[in-house]
Amino acid sequence: MYRPVAYPAGKGEWRPEDPAIAHIDMDAFFASIEILDFPGLADRSVIVGGSSDRGVVAAASYKAREYGIHSAMPIFQAKRLCPDLVIQPGRMNRYVEISRKIIRLLGRYSPLVEQVSIDEAFIDLSGTMRLFGRYEDIVVAIRREIKEETGLTCSAGLSTGKLVAKIASDIDKPDGMAVIPPGMVDGFLCGLPIGKVPGVGEKSAEQLRKKGIRYLGDIRKLPPARVSELFGKQGSRLLEIALGDHNPPVIPYSRPKSISNELTFAEDTADKAILERYLLSLSEKVAGRLRNQNLAGRTITLKLKDFDHSMITRSITLDNPTHQGRKIYAEAGKLLAASIGNRRKRLIGVGVSNLEPEEKAGQYDLFDERPAEEERWDRVDQAVDDIAHRFGHGAIRRGRLRKES
């Protein structure tokens, strides 16, 4: 809940020319949706992830986090930390459904909404005071409406730029709000612990501290040439942030650069038939996601990880973009055949990049007629998408995948 801030005199008010950016960050999004849909889990430690011990935690409820469980932690480790852990399989369609509802809600307040992931977004509120009142009150209203319309809580940060707003949204989690008004931004940045700067990981923060940079403001005490000498490109970025010069705009829409899916096996395998079956399943999933976003792609990439974690990636670029699972699988299958070897595989993945609007998937050169087979498979894919939308994914699948769990 937002608690009003007692600003120093003259530092808490936005002038008409000041930008106002809010960062909305949903609280433990995937896990919170599971608890919302299955109320019996409300008092349990819940994670979203695969049931295999070789998988990783995709999201953890705040109760699970009390045990030290966090995203990207191996499942087996999470189980050791919390024997009564509840593991929910991911339901991406449901998460996307609610995510889209939240983005539409934000659009009521400004057309400038930048979704940076499924559970967070920036909204540029600059100039909306005449419509909705004080910026702080607008963010309070947004948080209230998200709770009323989805049943979920979010945390928010409000300031004059994206970076400070994002940092602020983490100050009072969960279900909190922090405001860094124009007159307090400089002091806030100077006193920010270096490890709290987005993009500075634990190892980098430790190296910076060893060189005397404990707070972001410390880097302002050095000559720019010395900053570049000591820290290279990272130092230049940190100096830009510390000086308040890092102010990228809120970009309403950015087409994804690639779409991919991958799978870690319960047991390492070198069985070609198993690898091909999972490659087909992943290809269909990627194709469905492409069609769902009205996209098609030219470059298909195969990803393989061996039992010793060594990685292989291979790519091929098509003359015409595609969003058909069978074509993605056919090309990825060629890459698999050329790369499989006899080493046991731990992970397989497939991705499509070099993306274009979906309508280009049907465009061929002026004197080339699109094959009738392409048209037929487009109709098949459309029928599959319709059935999946109505009855859920898994309601229909290829015969080769009928044994897949």
Please identify which of the residues 17, 34, 114, 120 carries the catalytic annotation: 120
Give the type of residue at 45.
S
d(CA 205, CA 195): 5
| Cα angle value 315/342/311 (rounded, 5°) | 40
Measure Cα distances from 215 to 34, 131, 201, 212, 307 in Å: 38, 38, 14, 9, 41
Contacts of 201 (CB under 8 A, 6+ apart): none
Q: How far apart are CA 97 and CA 170, in angstroms?
A: 24
Q: Under a CB-based contact definition with an 8 Å cutoff, are residues 110 and 123 in contact?
A: yes
Backbone angles phi, psi at 106, to 5 degrees: -60, -35
User: Is 369 known to be catalytic?
Assistant: no
- Please, are residues 53 and 68 in contact by the beta-carbon 8 Å criterion? no
Given a contact cutoff of 8 angstroms between Cβ atoms, the answer to whether 282 and 263 are in contact is: yes
- How far apart (Å, rounded) are the C-alpha atoms in residues 319 and 322? 10
Of the candidates 217, 219, 223, 215, the residue with the CA atom closest to the CA atom of residue 234: 219
Residue numbers annotated as active site: 120
